[in-house]
Amino acid sequence: MHSANHRKFFEKRFTISLWFAQVKTRFALILIQSSIWLLQHTSSIGSKILKKEINDTSDDDLIRACRQGDARAWQAVVNKYKRLVFSIPLNYGLSQEDAADISQITFTIMFESLEHFYVDTRFALWLATVARRHSWRLLERYRRESTEDDEDLSQSVTATIGFSSKEA
């Protein structure tokens, strides 16, 4: 009985931890989507001012501000590195939709890793590495799916040929 209570306690604790992780991920996605929306709907003057602020702010300062929950810092990070992150999957021959997905994954991982990220690390290199690894994973998945489709096709052709030769 005592162990059953402990198990229930840990199951509840795990469920709560999982729920918080899901909320944190949803929050990151909302931030990314709102940043993209803001990028699409800001005036050119506002974007010029924002670009100037981004260039004047160091990565270390942006990371610290993001850790403190500053939405403008988050937007500045996304604005500063969106082209870099988006271009990596495209350079590997992936579609724009795949590049958008990988960008979203990369910025979500960044958001989730902010607390553990070393400030003196080269931030652009870290983001590029995350985007590159996810591009490789997606390419590998496509390759596996293509191989499986080819095997299925060859089996169906073999079965068809074998079936037609039995009729003759």
Residue recorded with tokens 């702010």 = 57
Q: Name the pTM for this structure.
A: 0.58
Tokens 């958001």 found at: 111
Does residue 1 carry a pLDDT above 70?
Answer: no
What is the residue-averaged pLDDT of the chain? 74
Q: How far is CA 125 from CA 55, 138, 146, in A?
A: 17, 20, 31
Contact 121, 112 (CB under 8 A): no
Distance of CA 90 to the CA centre of its chain: 15
d(CA 158, CA 140): 27
Q: Is the pLDDT of residue 163 over 60?
A: no
- Give the model confidence (pLDDT) of 21-76 as tens digits: 565 666 666 666 656 555 554 444 344 445 555 556 788 888 888 888 888 888 88
Q: Crossing angle, helix 71-91 and helix 96-113, to 10 degrees? A: 140
Helix residue spans in the chain (DSSP H): 2-41, 44-56, 59-67, 71-91, 96-113, 123-167
127 neighbors 110 (Cβ within 8 angstroms):
yes
Q: Over 90: is that where the pLDDT of 135 sits? A: yes
Q: Which carries the bigger pLDDT value, residue 25 or residue 77?
A: 77
Collapsed DSSP state (helix, strand, coil) of residue 148: helix
